[in-house]
Amino acid sequence: MVLQRNTEVYIWGWGRAGQQVLVAPSWTIDTITCVVSGEATWKTKIVTPDAGGPYTIQIHSQGQHLELNDVLIGEVWLCSGQSNMQWSARNNVKEIKEILPTINNKNIRLLQVSNIAAQTPQDNIFDQWTECNPTTVESFSAIGYFFADRLHRELDVPIGIINSSWGGTSAEFWTPKEEIAKDPELVQNALLQKPAPRKPYQPGVLWNSMIYPLVHYKIAGVLWYQGEDNTISYSGYDKLIQTMVLSWRSAWNHDFPFYFVQIAPYTYKYKIPNAALLREQQTKTALNLPHAGMVVTTDLVDNIKDIHPQQKKAVAHRLADLALVYPYRREMIDFQSPIYRDYRIENDKMRIFFHHLYGNLHVEGKEIVDLYIAGEDKVFHPADFKLDGKELLVFSKKVNKPAAVRFGFTNTSMPNLFTETGLPVAPFRTDNWNQF
């Protein structure tokens, strides 16, 4: 396994009530002691050194002896979400399938959490850490592997990556049911999830079995790719995700980074742009949730009729850029997609301002795809534009008094407005009208 470096981590287990447990890591001369509780459980903290290994951890209690071998110290990240996070070489992700025979890195360790749902919080999982090789990576999250590989190359420390994801699941399943029950809107939205083959459908059941058992395991941060299954209840998604993340952070007692992927363009069968409206909620989360960051994927889709885009490596590298800049303090410029900030009306034009933009904007082509402007009549017209450094001027001969701009605000839009570093601008609208 990999333990988080330069911190205090928990080691825990089960034993005979009242007996003393001795824990002796090989990187220190100290032996840590604790006592098994009346519920036959024990838990203790050990201090980890800087990155390195392999080490051993000796555990003794009343004539019983355990030895944990091949323990590395490095960086540990948790991946979670639905199928786009889960997708692997076995799901025909070509980017990883093509390189699978060449993958062999003992300094990357993988923990694949089994898809099991439970009505109550569980104490254990039925899975174990493995070394990174063609056999173990084949069924592992492609995004998780590419993220771990990038971090290992950049940081030159062991990387542990945990994949706890399940295709077709909504965020309610990953949130403690007690937290859902506190909010009537979240309760009503959760009721929209119906039973279906091959997945659970009740709040909290994946939190109970696929996240809660990991809570004491120290992590550097969380990667999240989910939302497609919540397009049915888009209006409450920001509230739901913030509730989920805050509950996870509370359980870990750690305000870890939370980096997530905005859902990709896809031909959802809705009469209104539910996916665009859910992306709008994800943008709110990116702006309002502390220590959060969002990856935009509008340029990484080869087939809008496939809900599983093939390009996972670029998604993983954009997530890795967020991690490298924030917790690991690497210097980069325009490493995340610009997000709409504000506008100003200038006669017959609207000037758009963005967060996270330091260089200039760039258009690939002569026109910006899916850029619209409307007056007070709320009728949208294809818009002309002018780039003014890091600001966007939007106008149309058909709109003398502009009131609103929309950019890429459809389920399938793949617009062509980028940063100079090649990152797509996040879709947005300046209005809150119900006209679609």
DSSP 8-state assignment for residue 211 = I
pLDDT tier for residue 30 given thresholds of 50, 70 and 90: very high
How confident is the model at residue 103, as a pLDDT? 98
Within 8 A by CB and 6+ apart from 121, the residues are 207, 208, 212
How confident is the model at residue 302, as a pLDDT? 92
pLDDT tier for residue 69 given thresholds of 50, 70 and 90: very high
What span, in angstroms and rounded, lies between the C-alpha atoms of 343 and 410? 20
Task: Return phi, psi of residue 79, to 5°.
Answer: -105, 140
**Which of residues 236 and 197 earns the better pLDDT score?**
236
Average confidence score pLDDT of the chain:
97
How confident is the model at residue 226, as a pLDDT? 98
pLDDT single digits (tens) 128-170: 999 999 999 999 999 999 999 999 999 999 999 999 999 999 9
Whether 413 and 273 have beta carbons less than 8 Å apart is answered as no
pLDDT single digits (tens) 379-433: 999 999 999 999 999 999 999 999 999 999 999 999 999 999 999 999 999 999 9
Give the residue-averaged pLDDT of 33-43.
Answer: 97
How confident is the model at residue 247, as a pLDDT? 98
How confident is the model at residue 65, as a pLDDT? 96
Q: Tokens 């220190």 label which residue?
A: 28
Name all domains of the chain by residue range, CATH numbers in brackets.
2-69 (2.60.40), 73-325 (3.40.50.1110), 339-429 (no CATH)
pTM: 0.97
Give the residue-averaged pLDDT of 26-53.
Answer: 97
What span, in angstroms and rounded, lies between the C-alpha atoms of 61 and 421? 57
Q: Report the percent of the chain where pLDDT is more than 70.
A: 100
How confident is the model at residue 154, as a pLDDT? 98
